[in-house]
Amino acid sequence: MAALAALACAPSADSTGPGTCAPSVRHPDAIGCAYVYGKVTDTRGMALDSIDGLVRLSDACACSSPRVEGDDNGVYAVVVHRLPRPAGFSDTATATVVALASAPKYPRHITGAAYFDTLQLVVRFAPIGAVPPPTEVNLRIPLP
Q: Is residue 60 domain-resident?
A: yes
The number of domains in the chain is 1
Which domain range does residue 36 map to? 2-138
pLDDT band at 57 (very low <50, low <70, confident <90, very high): very high
HEC assignment per residue over the chain: CHHHHCCCECCCCCCCCCCCECCCCCCCCCCEEEEEEEEEEECCCCECCCCEEEEEECHHHCECCCEEECCCCCEEEEEEEECCCCCCCCCEEEEEEEEEECCCCCCECCCCCEEEEEEEEEEECEECCCCCCEEECCEEECCC
pTM exceeds 0.85 for this model: no
What mean pLDDT do residues 71-92 have? 90
pLDDT of residue 125: 95
Q: 89-121 pLDDT, tens per residue?
A: 789 999 999 999 998 899 998 888 999 999 999
pLDDT of residue 129: 95
- CATH number assigned to the domain comprising residue 6: 2.60.40
Q: Is residue 68 domain-resident?
A: yes
Q: Is residue 143 domain-resident?
A: no
